[in-house]
Amino acid sequence: MTNLAALLDATVAQHPDRTAIVFGGSRLSYAQLDQASNQVANLLTADGVGPGDKVALSCPNLPHFPIVYFGILKAGATVVPLNVLLKAREIAYHLDDADAVAYFAFEGTADLPIGEWAAQASADSRTCRRLFSFSPGAALPWADQSADFETVDVADDDTAVILYTSGTTGRPKGAELRHRNMRDNVLVGQEIFAIDVARPDTYLCVLPLFHSFGQTVVQNGAIAFGGTLVMLPRFEAQAALGAMLDETVTFFAGVPTMFWSLLGALDDGVDVSTLAANLRVAVSGGSALPGEVHKDFRTRFGVTVLEGYGLSETSPVASFSVYGQEPRVGSIGLPIPGVEMKLMARDWSDVPEGTDEVGEIAIKGHNVMKGYYGRPEATAEAIQDGWFRTGDIARKDADGFFYIVDRAKDMILRGGFNVYPREIEELLMTHPAVSLVAVIGVPHDSHGEEIKAVVVRNKDHDDVSETDLAAWAKERLAAYKYPRIVEFRDSLPLTATGKILKREI
């Protein structure tokens, strides 16, 4: 088994009639999921797409996402999942940076016109030659293709997925994840989550599938172990609770704000006892889960939340709390099987072992990416001797459990999404009213952090208001990126070399 799509092939061979996907009133068996993916693979092959080619995908949590995702893989091509909130300018950048030759895009809605942005982006792209648009209820681009296809064999080290991430410097970079990176990161979940393939789990799929967390732990995990995906296009607490009850959900993975929202949505009309009886695994990642939320969720839902840690560059899972053991609240757990983690100093030397010593987390193992696509220098800066530097600062206790104490410099974590200030600053600097700008994160009750732009205006643009500038940015950036808060100042604190001192803002 080499191609990541073999996870689907294996489950279909064993359980063709088992329900793979539940979406609203519709259900897809594993056989139906496989046949639809085969049609996508045939469509691509007929269009000349094959091994080594990159194919982008913009789709919310709909059955079309796994259908197209596995269809691309079956054809031997590389999947480039894109955030559905990206707008035309951003999409075009990702298409060209990944050398994507084809692009599947959900048409979207009036509030989220993905199809409109996709059409503009593909027209502006220098590499993308085909746009396949689709929407529920309409004729699908692959509908007239054969439902038979033999998955293309690939090498373990071939690139299965390119996941876009950002650094504190530069524009978003594509993390190249091998077939073995993604496959092994999925399969180790059987041990991490004590999965019994004879009693498959039902997964609530609310994490966005274009993100590594939802893609590996939920979508690929469910399919590898013959589980059922209960898909919601977006997270809404009441709808999530209803789906958990209606479909007997046993596995829930989310970011901390989702756990907080589920607790807040409980009322006298919710059958909490049944929820608690059904739920077997609850997984949190993306940021630290507050201790009170951890405790309250355990009390109300009857399950201990397992906290973990990972990055797009690590497929993503690197460490996890241990299923069945008393949790260490605030810890990201132990390295998963086959993975090493250590604390490293700035000069790449190891931090001395000992309680309360801090350093940058470095990771080595089957989960570490091949590198950043087309960026050998950035790859060399991040990986040496197989060790990937995360930029996250942590400590390790005497038993080997890790605890995050700080995040990568400047990064903002808003609602579970990583936001890097420089990209926003570079855009804002193109506005004629902006002379100088610093983008920072400020505390926010529900999102963890909110994005704030501190701006020095050009003197001849005093008529531009904070609201004007925020609205201008909103038109050009994904919804989770643009600054909701804009503050004008006469000057910003600078170092002797002219760098902005963000810690003094």
* Model pLDDT for residues 474-490, shown as the tens digit of each residue: 999 999 999 999 999 99
User: Are 390 and 449 found together in one domain?
Assistant: no
Domain boundary among 379, 406, 433: 406
User: Are 1 and 76 found together in one domain?
Assistant: yes
Is there a domain that residue 273 lies in? no
Cα separation, 433 vs 271, whole angstroms: 54
User: Are 98 and 123 found together in one domain?
Assistant: yes
Cα separation, 233 vs 179, whole angstroms: 27
Q: What pLDDT shows up at residue 119?
A: 97
Question: What type of residue is 41?
Answer: A
User: Are 465 and 397 found together in one domain?
Assistant: no
User: Are 390 and 438 found together in one domain?
Assistant: no
Q: What pLDDT shows up at residue 168?
A: 45
Q: What pLDDT shows up at residue 289?
A: 81
Is there a domain that residue 215 lies in? no
Q: What pLDDT shows up at residue 408?
A: 59
User: Are 379 and 432 found together in one domain?
Assistant: no
Cα separation, 252 vs 283, whole angstroms: 6
Is there a domain that residue 317 lies in? yes
Which residue ranges of the chain lie beneath pLDDT 70?
Answer: 1, 166-170, 355, 406-409, 494-499
Cα separation, 473 vs 394, whole angstroms: 34
Of 319, 336, 391, residue with least CA distance to 362? 391
Strands (DSSP E) contained in 99-150 are: 100-106, 130-134
User: Are 396 and 486 found together in one domain?
Assistant: no
Domain that holds residue 73: 1-154
User: Are 42 and 28 found together in one domain?
Assistant: yes
Q: What pLDDT shows up at residue 24?
A: 93
Q: Is 326 exposed, middle or buried (0-12, 13-18, 19+ CB in 10 A)?
A: exposed
User: Are 338 and 477 found together in one domain?
Assistant: no
User: Are 389 and 416 found together in one domain?
Assistant: no
User: Are 481 and 463 found together in one domain?
Assistant: yes
DSSP 234: S
Of 184, 432, 175, 404, residue with least CA distance to 311? 175
What's the number of domains the chain is made of? 3
Q: What pLDDT shows up at residue 355?
A: 64
Q: Is 152 exposed, middle or buried (0-12, 13-18, 19+ CB in 10 A)?
A: middle
**CATH classification at residue 417:** 3.30.300.30
